Amino acid sequence: MKLIFSKKCLEYNWQGHIERPERVQVAFDLLKTRYEFLEPQPATEQDLLSVHTQDYVNYIKNAKPGSYLDGDTPAPENIYEYALLSAGGAILASEQNGFSIMRPPGHHAGRNGTAMGVPTLGFCYFNNIAIAVKKLNTPTLILDIDGHHGNGTQEIFQTNPKITFVSLHRHPTYPGTGLRSVGNSLNFPLPYNAGDSLYLETLQHALNLVNMDNIKNIAISAGFDAHQGDLASLSLTPDCYRQIGKLVGELNRPVFAVLEGGYIGEYVGADIHELISGIEEKR
């Protein structure tokens, strides 16, 4: 699997914020000798408008540098350009069956920014995986393994018959959504001490509920903050990510992945490698 990355995404920083360049710099350093890397191009505004409103796109485009968009999400200088590039990384990943390790993440951003009644963006600007899936325009399973519920992704695709959304996430924690399944959104809240066995049992159950006859592609919202000791820990180990990869690989569909959370660079890099290794082992 090819990785998508641009060092440009390391340029923006916000002093003291957990979504910092080191989270992907360290991961890139661990992965750079193992994988072929591709350089993304920015998404277009039309790509953004496939899932977001014009008002919201303008809100990010015109954000005052140095301000906060909400209590969690700052607006560093040129954030619109960085967010476009991250969305472009997701698009390239979908085209190459690759893995975008670009920042910023995106799965909390709904059509008009906030989603499902949650008043914060959760470090997200544009919903990268939603933009890529929409552009792909095929029946797709979106599997969100971030420790936080992908409320923005669920909102965007809730009534789209081409999409099945599956999320395993910690409860209670931010954003407090995803406590039950609704239509094409299959949600599985888990306790902080879930561990590998419960997680993998739950994932297998979730995948058994998906009608794979109707699925042409798999898109992974690959957050790694469920790793033991990270921000939304579910007490997962690196081997759990390899087993997740195996379960996905056994579905025998084209797969691409987009980085969401994961804030300890060493864990992120190791877990990306384990996830990819599991997928490729079963292909």
Q: In Å, what is the CA distance from 21 to each residue of 31, 36, 136?
A: 16, 21, 29
- Cα separation, 50 vs 144, in Å, equals 20
DSSP per-residue letters across the chain:
--EE--GGGGS---TT-SS-THHHHHHHHHHTTTS-EE---PPPHHHHHTTS-HHHHHHHHTPPTTEESSSS-EE-TTHHHHHHHHHHHHHHHHHHT-EE--SS--TT-BTBBBBTTB---TT-SS-HHHHHHHHH-S-EEEEE-SSS--HHHHHHHTT-TTEEEEEEEESSSTT---SS-BTTEEEEEE-TT-HHHHHHHHHHHHHHTS-GGG--EEEEEE--TTBTTSTT---B-HHHHHHHHHHHHTT-S-EEEEE-----HHHHHHHHHHHHHHHHHH-
Q: What is the CATH number of the domain that holds 95?
A: 3.40.800.20
The pLDDT value recorded for residue 283 is 74
Token readout for 96 is 């190459």
Let me know if 205 is a catalytic residue. no
Token readout for 207 is 């995948």
Query: CA torsion, points 30, 32, 34, 36, in degrees to nearest 10?
Result: 150
pLDDT values of the chain reduced to their tens digit, one per residue, 283 residues: 999 999 999 999 999 999 999 999 999 999 999 999 999 999 999 999 999 999 999 999 999 999 999 999 999 999 999 999 999 999 999 999 999 999 999 999 999 999 999 999 999 999 999 999 999 999 999 999 999 999 999 999 999 999 999 999 999 999 999 999 999 999 999 999 999 999 999 999 999 999 999 999 999 999 999 999 999 999 999 999 999 999 999 999 999 999 999 999 999 999 999 999 999 997 7
The pLDDT value recorded for residue 282 is 72
- Cα separation, 270 vs 238, in Å, equals 7
Token readout for 129 is 């995986």
The pLDDT value recorded for residue 14 is 94
Q: What is the pTM of this model?
A: 0.98
Catalytic residue (one of 108, 169, 227, 273): 108
Residue 255 CB partners (closer than 8 Å, separation 6+): 1, 97, 217, 218, 219, 220, 248, 249, 279
| Counted domains in the chain | 1
Range of the domain at 93: 3-282
